[in-house]
Amino acid sequence: MPKEVVVIGLLALAGFLAGGVYATWKTAKFMAIILLVLIVVAVGGAVLWLI
């Protein structure tokens, strides 16, 4: 599998999680913070996969 496919998948996952943060921020801030951490992990993994 080309590494670009994995990177695109991780960035898509980060975008999906960002939508979750936007949707849950007003009602469940703790869950939104957990999703923010997962976004950082997904983007970090994508960057490290490219290196």
For 26, the token pair is: 């007003």
Give the containing element (helix H, strand E) for 46.
Answer: helix 29-50
Write down the pLDDT at residue 44.
Answer: 96
Map tokens 């490290």 to a residue. Answer: 48
Q: For 1-47, how does the pLDDT look when each residue is reduced to its tens digit (9 = 90+)?
A: 787 899 999 999 999 999 999 999 999 999 999 999 999 999 999 99
Torsion angles phi and psi, residue 48, rounded to 5: -65, -30
